Amino acid sequence: MQVSFTQAEVAAIACPSRTTGATTETIRGIASLGSAVPGDISFLGNPKYKSSVASTRASIVLLPPDYAGKPGPNQVHMAVDNPSVALARLCSRIEQSLWPKPRPGIHASAVTAPDASIAASATVGPMCIVESGATVGERANLEARVFVGRGSRVGEDSWLMPGVIVSAECTIGKRVRLQPGVVIGADGFGYEFVLGRHEKVPQVGTVVIGDDVEIGANSTIDRARFGRTEVGEGTKIDNLVQVGHNCVIGRHCMICAQCGFAGTVTLGDFVVVGGQCGLAGHLTVGSGVKIGAKSGVKDDIPPNTSVWGSPSMPLLLEQKLTVLRHRLPELFKRVDALERHAGAGPG
Amino acid sequence: MQVSFTQAEVAAIACPSRTTGATTETIRGIASLGSAVPGDISFLGNPKYKSSVASTRASIVLLPPDYAGKPGPNQVHMAVDNPSVALARLCSRIEQSLWPKPRPGIHASAVTAPDASIAASATVGPMCIVESGATVGERANLEARVFVGRGSRVGEDSWLMPGVIVSAECTIGKRVRLQPGVVIGADGFGYEFVLGRHEKVPQVGTVVIGDDVEIGANSTIDRARFGRTEVGEGTKIDNLVQVGHNCVIGRHCMICAQCGFAGTVTLGDFVVVGGQCGLAGHLTVGSGVKIGAKSGVKDDIPPNTSVWGSPSMPLLLEQKLTVLRHRLPELFKRVDALERHAGAGPG
Amino acid sequence: MQVSFTQAEVAAIACPSRTTGATTETIRGIASLGSAVPGDISFLGNPKYKSSVASTRASIVLLPPDYAGKPGPNQVHMAVDNPSVALARLCSRIEQSLWPKPRPGIHASAVTAPDASIAASATVGPMCIVESGATVGERANLEARVFVGRGSRVGEDSWLMPGVIVSAECTIGKRVRLQPGVVIGADGFGYEFVLGRHEKVPQVGTVVIGDDVEIGANSTIDRARFGRTEVGEGTKIDNLVQVGHNCVIGRHCMICAQCGFAGTVTLGDFVVVGGQCGLAGHLTVGSGVKIGAKSGVKDDIPPNTSVWGSPSMPLLLEQKLTVLRHRLPELFKRVDALERHAGAGPG
C-alpha cells in the first residue's frame, strides 16, 4: 500500500477554511500527533490531545477552526470543520489502493451450485462455496473461502471477507460488510427439558441483515427459532458479538465488541451499546437508548434514556451509587463513631 | 424452505387434548402471538404473553390446558400439555425441508488422507480436510470446509457445520452438533515464567466431546495440558464460549453464550450457567448448580445451590446486597441525620 | 499419539536432584495426582494438591525439593526444582509425536499468487490461500485453510493453525503461533455520525505482531485506522480476545480469555490481564500492571500497580469495598439500632 500526497493534493481533499504555513514534504503516512515524523499528516480529533499539537513533527496537521497555535518550520496547519471527517476523506483515497477493486468472476477453485444465481459483475473468490438456490447480487464480493448456504441471498455491493459463513435461507442486504469469520444463521440456542434431557427445539427461522450493515470479525447472529432474527439498516456491530435467535436490532445502532443479546431482544433505532454488555431474553430497548460498557440488562429500557451497571440502572443513579460505594469505608467509620457516642457499640 | 400444513395435519402432529374453533387457512408460517397474521400458527409458551392470545391474528394457537379464552372467527385453539414442545414437534417436520438429508460420499474438492477411515454412509462436503488416521463415523455429516485433524474421531450421526475445526487426536461423540466456526482442540493457555519470558508449556492432551452434545458458533474448547478436556453427554453450549484446558464439564449442562472457563474447572451434571459468566481456574462446581448471568466465580460451589454476582455469592444474599446497595443514598442521609442529632457530625 | 518412557528416560529428561523408590512400569500417560493410574507420571505443581501425593497411584511423581513424604510400592518420587517445568520438558518430547514436523512444500489444493514469496522450507497446507505480494518465511507452517492477504508477511518458524486469517498488509513476526480461527487485520470499528447515519471511517492502517507471540483461537486483532496496531514480542493472548484498532500491546504480556481492548489502548510490558476484562479507549496502562479478572478499566493505570473491579480500583481498596459490601446488612441494622436509640428513626 503506497501513500503519496502533496500539500496541494491534501488541501484539495480536506478543503480547509484556513491554511497556515507551508511544507515541501510529500505526505507518505498518517500518524497520531505524538508519533508523527516529517512526511506524515496528523490531526486533532480528540481535545484530550490538544497540547500535543505544538510539539508534533507532522508535516501537515488538520485542526478544528478554533485552534489558535502556529505551525512550526516546514509545517502546515489546516483548519477544517471536523478534522476526523477530513482525515476520513483522505483515508478513503488511500483505501482504494489497500483494497483494489476486485475482478468480477468466479475463481476456478470455488464450488458453486449449478442453480445458484451469481451476477456477472460479482466476484466469487478462491475456495468459496455457493450452494443450491443461493443468489449473489451485482458487484457483490465474496473475497475468499466464503460459504453461502442453500437459498441464501447476498445483496448488491456487499462485501463478505474471508471465512464468512452465511447458513441456509438467510438474507444479506445491499452494501453490507461482513468481516472475517462472521457466522450468520447458526442455530439459535433453544431446548426443552424433557424426561431429564435437553431436547433440541428446531430452529427453523432465518436471519435478515439490512442494507449498509457492518458486522465485526467472528461475531455470530443466530437464526430464529421461527420467523426471523433481524439487524436493521445502517447498524454497525463490532467483533465477537453474539445476537441470539429472534432478536430484532433496529436501524443505525452501534454495538461494541463482545456484547451478547439473549433470545428475542428487541432494540429500537439509534441505540448505542458499550462493550461487553449482556441483555437478558425477551427485553425491549427503546430507540435512542445508551447502555454503558459492561452493563447487565434485565429489564426493559424506555426510549432516549441512558443506563449503566449490572444489573443496570439509570445512568445518574448508577454513578451516584458508585460514588457512595467508594465512601463505604468512611460510612462504616461514621457509624462506629456514632455507636461510641451513643454508648451503643458492640462490645 | 416451504411450510404448508392443514388444520388436520397440525392436529396429527400436536395431538391436542381439546380443539375449539376451525379454520380454512393453510398454515404457511410460524409467528409470535403479536406478529402473527392469518395463515400462521402461534403458541403461548411464556405466561408473560397470555394477554396477547385474545388479540392474535394467528389461524391456529397452541395453548396450555388451563387457558380459558375462546378463539376468534376462522381461528383454532388447540389445548396441549406443553405448547412449546408441541410447536417443536411441528418445527422438526419443517426442519427436514430446511436441512435436507445429505447425500453420502466425499466431495471432489475435499482432501482426505489415504489412511483416514470414512464410513460409506458419511458425508464429507466441499473443501473439507480429513487428515491421516482420522475416523468419520456412520452417517456423520461434515457439511463444508470442515477440518478433522490427525487421529481424530467423529462419531456416528454427528453433524459438523461449515468451518468447524477439530484439531489432532480429539474425539467427538455420537449425534454431536458443532455449529459453524467451532474450534475443538486448540492449545490450552499454559506458560511458565522463566528468565523473564513466558515459556510455553506444551499442551499434549486431548478433547473428548460426549454424545448428544451441541456447541455454538465460534466457541472454543481447548486441548488438555495432558490427559483430556471433557464435555459430558447431552450438554449444550451456546456461542462464543471458552472452555480452558483440562476442564471437565458434566452431563446435561446448559452453558449460555460468552461464558469462560479457565483451566481445570470441574462442573457436575445438570449445571446451568447464565451468559457471560467467568469461572476461575481449578474450581469445582457441584451438580445441579445454577449460576446467574455475568457472575464471576472464584470459589467452589456446593451441589444444588444457586449463586450470582461478581464475585459470586449465594443467590439470596446477592439479591439482598443488590437491594441494599440501591438504598445507600438513604443510608447516607440517615447517618447524616444521626450525626446532626448527636452533634457529632464532621465539621 | 504414543507415550512410552522408562524410569531412566524420565530421569534423563527431568534431571531430579533426588530419586526415591523404583518402578518397573513403563510410563504411558500423564495425569493429575487424583486421576493417575499405574503407568502414569504425575506432579505436584500447585501446593493446593499436596495432600493428594500420598494417595496417588501414579508410578512416577515429580515433587518440589521440600516434599517430605515417601513413595508407595512400585512408585518413584523425583525431587526437582520446579515440577511444572520438569513436566513441561517431558511434554515437549511428547509434543513431537503429536505435531510431527511438517513436510516443506505447497499442497496441490492451495492457491498461491505467482508473485507471492514462499520460502522453500515453508509448508503451505491444503486449501491455503496466499495472495499477491505476500511473503512466507523459512520453515513457516500454514497448516490448512490459512489465508494470507495481499502484501502480508509471515515470519520464520511461525505456525498458523487451520482457519487463520491474516488480512492484507499485516506483518507476523518470527516463531509466532496463531491458534485456529484467529483473525488478524479485520477493519477497526470506526464511524462518524454524519447526517443521521454512521459513516465508515476507512481503516487503512495495519497490524504488526512481534516475535514469539501466541494468539488463542478465534481472537481478533483489528487493523489500525492508520499507522499500526501492535502486539509486542513474547506476549501471549488467550482465546476470544478482542484487540481494537491502534492498540499497542507491550512485550511479554499475558492476556487471558475474552478480554476486550477498545481503540488506541496502550499497554506497557509484562502486563497481566485476567479473563473477561474490558478496557476503554485511549487508555495507558503502565508496565508490570496486573488487572484482576472481569475488571472494567476506564482510567489510566500507573506502572507496577494492581487493579480490580468495574470500574476498576486499586486492588486493596476494591477488596476492602467488597468486604464492606458484604457487611451492608449488618450496617443497616446498626443504623436502625442507632435510630431507635436516638428516638430519631422513621415512623
Whether B317 and chain A come into contact, CB under 8 Å, resolves to no
Q: Of the listed A77, A107, A198, A245, which one is catalytic?
A: A245
pLDDT band at A91 (very low <50, low <70, confident <90, very high): confident
- Chain B CB contacts of C87 under 8 Å are 201, 226
- Chain A CB contacts of B238 under 8 Å are 189, 242
What does the angle CA B262 – CA B265 – CA B269 come to, to the nearest 5 degrees? 135
Q: Which pLDDT belongs to residue B347? A: 40
Contact C167 A181 (CB under 8 A): no
Q: Which pLDDT belongs to residue B344? A: 46
Q: Which pLDDT belongs to residue A344? A: 46
Is A245 an active-site residue? yes
| Weakly modelled stretches of chain C, pLDDT under 50 | 344-347
| Chain centroid, CA A15 distance in Å | 28
Q: Which pLDDT belongs to residue A252? A: 98
Whether B111 and chain C come into contact, CB under 8 Å, resolves to yes
Long-range contacts of B77-82 (CB under 8 A, 24+ apart): B77/B19, B77/B20, B77/B21, B78/B10, B78/B11, B78/B14, B78/B16, B78/B18, B78/B19, B79/B16, B79/B17, B79/B18, B79/B19, B79/B20, B80/B14, B80/B15, B80/B16, B80/B17, B81/B17, B82/A192
Q: Which pLDDT belongs to residue A345? A: 44
Q: Answer yes or no: is pLDDT of B333 > 90.
A: yes
Q: Which pLDDT belongs to residue C347? A: 40
- pLDDT by residue (tens digit) across B128-164? 999 999 999 999 999 999 999 999 999 999 999 999 9
Whether C334 and chain A come into contact, CB under 8 Å, resolves to yes
Q: Which pLDDT belongs to residue C343? A: 78
Rounded average pLDDT over B272-285: 98
Q: Answer yes or no: is pLDDT of A112 > 90.
A: yes
Which element (helix H / strand E) includes B320? helix B315-326
Contact A144 C129 (CB under 8 A): yes
Chains in touch with B (≥3 Cβ pairs < 8 A): A, C
Residue B181 is nearest to which of A165, A201, A335, comparing CB atoms?
Answer: A165
Contact C202 A92 (CB under 8 A): yes
Q: Answer yes or no: is pLDDT of B331 > 80.
A: yes
Q: Answer yes or no: is pLDDT of B346 > 70.
A: no
- pLDDT by residue (tens digit) across C301-336? 999 999 999 999 999 999 999 999 999 999 999 999
Residue A129 is nearest to which of B46, B126, B339, comparing CB atoms?
Answer: B126
Q: Which pLDDT belongs to residue C305? A: 98
Q: Answer yes or no: is pLDDT of B253 > 90.
A: yes
- Chain C CB contacts of A127 under 8 Å are 111, 127, 129, 145
- Chain A CB contacts of B273 under 8 Å are none
Q: Answer yes or no: is pLDDT of B332 > 60.
A: yes
pLDDT band at A325 (very low <50, low <70, confident <90, very high): very high
Q: Which residues of C are catalytic?
A: 245
- Closest Cα in chain A, distance from residue B151 (Å): 25
B4-63 residues touching C, CB cutoff 8 A:
none
DSSP for B236-268 reads EE-TT-EE-TT-EE-SS-EE-TT-EE-TT-EE-
Residue B205 in contact with residue B246, Cβ under 8 Å? yes
Q: Which residues of B are catalytic?
A: 245
Residue C84 in contact with residue C66, Cβ under 8 Å? no
Query: Hey, what's the cell of A327?
Result: 465512601
pLDDT band at A95 (very low <50, low <70, confident <90, very high): confident
Q: Which pLDDT belongs to residue C2? A: 64
Q: Is the peptide bond before C102 cis (omega within 30 degrees of 0)?
A: no
- Chain B CB contacts of C1 under 8 Å are 151, 168-169, 204, 206
Q: Answer yes or no: is pLDDT of B176 > 50.
A: yes
Residue A216 in contact with residue A240, Cβ under 8 Å? yes
Whether B217 and chain A come into contact, CB under 8 Å, resolves to yes
Q: Which pLDDT belongs to residue C345? A: 45
What average pLDDT is seen over chain B? Answer: 94
Q: Which pLDDT belongs to residue B90? A: 86
Q: Which pLDDT belongs to residue A199? A: 86
Contact A227 B254 (CB under 8 A): no
Percent of chain C residues past pLDDT 90, beyond the cut: 82
In chain B, the domains with their CATH numbers are 7-98 (3.40.1390.10), 105-319 (2.160.10.10)
Residue B235 in contact with residue B270, Cβ under 8 Å? no
Distance (Å, whole) CA A26 – CA A41: 10
DSSP for A267-289 reads E-SS-EE-TT-EE-TT-EE-TT-
- pLDDT by residue (tens digit) across A125-156? 999 999 999 999 999 999 999 999 999 999 99
Percent of chain A residues past pLDDT 70, beyond the cut: 98
Q: Which pLDDT belongs to residue C30? A: 86
Rounded average pLDDT over A87-112: 88
- Chain B CB contacts of A276 under 8 Å are 276
Residue A165 is nearest to which of B46, B162, B325, comparing CB atoms?
Answer: B162
Q: Answer yes or no: is pLDDT of A214 > 70.
A: yes
- pLDDT by residue (tens digit) across B18-48? 999 999 999 988 888 988 899 999 999 888 8
Whether B296 and chain C come into contact, CB under 8 Å, resolves to yes
Distances (CA, A) of A107 to A103, A127, A144, B49, B163: 10, 8, 9, 51, 19
Q: Which pLDDT belongs to residue B2? A: 64
Distance (Å, whole) CA A6 – CA B303: 70
